[in-house]
Structure 1
Amino acid sequence: FITHPPLHTLIHPSFSRCPPLPPPSFHSLDIQVNDPLQPVTSDETVPAGGTVILTCRVAESDNSSLQWSNTAQQTLYFGEKRALRDNRIQLHRSTPTELSITISDVQLSDEGEYTCSIFTMPVRTARATVTVLGVPGKPQISGFEHAVKEGEKVTLTCTSTGSKPPAKLRWYKGDQLLEGGPEVVEPVEDNPTYNVSSELTLEVSASDDNTLIACAVNHPSLAPGDKRSEHALRVLYSPNVQIQPESDLPREGEKFSLRCSGNGNPEPTNYVWDKKDGELPLLAKPDGAVLNFLTLNKSDNGVYVCHADNGIGNSQGEYTLLVQDEAGNVADPTAMSTTSGMDHAVIGGVVAVIVFILLCLLIVLGRYLIRHKGTYLTHEAKGSDDAPDADTAIINAEGGHSGAEDKKEYFI
C-alpha cells in the first residue's frame, strides 16, 4: 500500500488523472462497523442536469486524508486537492473527518459507483451509488387534428421521450382522472432511456365541446404537474334553439322582433319561421334568424316556431306571443277561443228559441185563419137553402137585414 505522506506529496491540482487505487486488503474488508476510521457514505439519486453532493465521513481522524474516486477509479479529490480537471466537480466541504464534493450538470454517463477511501493501515473504503434519472420530455398529444361529431368516438395518443426509468402517463378530463390504455414502453437505441406512449378513447357529447383533455407525466425526477400538456376537444353538435323577444312587453301598434339563437357547433346557417295552427301574419317578415313584426296586432297572438339547421342536425324552438293593448291588458288566445265558443253557443240557443216561437206563432195563426174562414163561408150562404131558384137564392143570400148583421158581426 502507498502510505499517506508519499501519496500526499504526489497529488497536485495540475494532475488530470491519477492511477487507480489498489484493491483493499482482506483486512480492510473485515473492518467492523464500529470502526471510528471506517468511511461512511450514502447512495444518491439525481435527475440528469441536476447537481449531486457526495459526502464521506469518519467518526475520528488520525490525520489521514480522505479521497473521492469516480466510477473509472479516477481520483477526483484528495483532501482539498482536485486531481481531475472537470469544472463540473467542485469541493463542497473538507475537514479532518469529512470530504464532500459536488458534481453539477450530471449526465447519464455519470451514473455508477463512487469510492471514498482513507489511507490508513489498512486502507479503508466505502462506496456510494449514484443513480441518474433520465428526465422525460414534455408529453405530446395527437388526435385533436379534426373535430368530432357528438356521439362518435375519438382516440388520443400521448407520448413522452427520454425517461429513465420509464415514465407513467396520466389522462385527465378537466380535473377528473381518466382510465387510459396501458403504457407502451420502447427503449431508445444507444441510450439508457425509454419512450413511453398511452392511448385514450372517448365517446364525446355536446357538453364535451371545449373541454380540456390533459396528459401528465408521473416520474421520480419531476414534481407533480411539472410536465403536462392539454388540448381542448372540438365537438360538432346539433343546434339547441332558443327564441329571444325584443321586449318582454309587446304592445299593440308597435314594432317587434323575435331572434332565434341556434347555439350549435357550427352555428346554424339556415332558419325557417312558422306559426302553429296557422300561417305567419302578413306584417310578420322573416329575415334569417330574426322575425320582424312591422306593426303588432292582437290577431298576431299565438305560438311561433323557429327551425334551425347547421348541417349536423335540425332543431326547433317555440315562443308564445301575447300582445298587450294600450291599457296593458293581454288577450289570451286560449281565453278568446273559449269565450268565442261560449258566445256562439249562446247565440245559437237564442236563435233556436226565436225560430221555435215563430214556428209556434205561424201554426196558431194558420189554424186561426182556417177556422175563421170556414165560419164566414157558412154565414154567407144562409137564406139560400129555401130558395126556389138560383136568382132568389142569391137575392136572399145578399139581401136581408139579419144576414148583413150576421156577416158584420163575424168580421168584427
Structure 2
Amino acid sequence: MEVSIILKLTALNALCFLGILSKDIMALEPSFDVPIVNITVVAGKTAVLPCSIDSLGDFKVVWTDQYSTLLTLDEKRIIDDERMVLDRPHTKDWNLLLHDVKYDDRGRYTCQINTMPIKTKTIELIVLVPPTILDSSSTDLTAKEGDKVTLTCNVTGIPRPTVQWFRKPHADSRDQHKERVGINGEILIIHNISRYCDGIYECVAFNDVPPAVNRVISVMVEFPPEVWLDNRRMGQSRGKETILECKVTAFPQGVTVWRYQGQDLINSDKYRVEVYQDRGHMVILSVRIVNLTREDFGQYSCFASNGFGMDEETMTLYEFIPASKAQPVVTTTTVPILSTTVSKRNRLLRPSIYDDKEFVPYNPSGNGHNPGNDSLSDGQLFGFKCTGAIVRICAQYSMNNSGTTRHTGMYNSATLLITLICVLDVFCFLRS
C-alpha cells in the first residue's frame, strides 16, 4: 500500500518536472530578430545579407541560394566560392557577405534554422549594372553624299540604359558647339547624308547607375568641289602687284589651280601661288601677280576637281587708272591805290588796311578826292573809319583840330558786332 503511494507520488513529480521543462524549451525557441528586407547593390560592390537570431541555443544555421544550394553551415563555407563569407559582428548575427557581386548573383537567398519545423528568412538580392557599350557598335566611317548612313550604339545595363545622340563638327572646325540629334535609341539613321552632316557623332548611355558611358564615331562625307570668290572684279594700276584669292571646299581635296588664258599658273618670277588650309574641308588658293603690265589684265579662273566632280569660277582683273588731281586755280586781283595830297595834320594818321585807326577822307561831291577839301567849315576832318582784319566794316568818322575822334553810331554798332562774333567763336571752340 505504502509502496504504491510512493510510486504514484514519484510519477506525479516526474510529470510536473517534464511539464516545466517543456515550457522552458518552448520559451527558448530561436527566432529571427530582423524583418525580411530586399538588398540592392551595384555590380562589383559588396552585398551584406543580414540574419540575426535570438535564442539560437544548440540549433544550427545554414544559408542557401535560389537553387537550394548549401552555401554555409554554422560558421563554415560549404560552397567553393571565396567571394562568400559568413560575418558575425555580434553573437546573434549570422550575416552572409558576398564580395565583387556579379549580375548572375541576383536572386533569393535564405537563412534557415534547423528547428522542427524549419524556420526560414528569405532575402531578395537585386543587382544593378552600370551601362556598357558593346564592341559591336559602329566605328569611324566614310560615306558618299546622298547615301543612307546607320549608326549603332549597342549597350547593356540594369536597368536598361537610355541612349542619346549628339553631333559636333570635326576638330579643325571653328564651331565646336555640340548639338542634340535624332531620338533616343541605340540606332541613329541619317537619310540622304550631305556634306553638312559630317562630323563627330557621340552616343551617351545612362541608367542612373554611375558612371554614364559614351562612344564617339567620326563620319566623313565625300562630295565634289565648290569654289567661292569674295570678289569678281578687282582693279590695280600698272607696275603694282595684286593678290587673287578663291575658297574651295571639297572632300577629298583634288586638283586646285588658278588659270589665265587657259594656262595653269605656277610659281615663277611673275606668279607666287600658295595654298592655305582653312576650317573644315576648306582651302584658300591665292596667286600673287607682281609688276602688272597691260598683258596681265583680263579673266582669271579658279578651278577645282576631285573624283566626284569639278567647279570653276571666274573673276576680272582690270587696269585701275587713278583720277588726276585738280590743280587749284590762283587768281590775281589788282587793287588800285588812290594817292591823294592831304594836309600836314592828315598825314599824321598813317592808314593801313589792318589798322583800326585807318582813316579814309571823304569827298561829298562823289567826283574823286580833291586835296585841301577834307576840312569842313568848323575845322573838322570828315571821312570813313574801318575796323576788323577778317570782316572789314567802315562807317562815317570825324576828327576835330585837336585830334579828338568822334565815331558815328554805325561804327560803334559794327565794333560791338565784331566783338560778339569773336566771343561766340571762342565759346564754340572750347565746347568742341
TM-score after normalising by structure 1: 0.49
Structure that is richer in strand per residue: 2
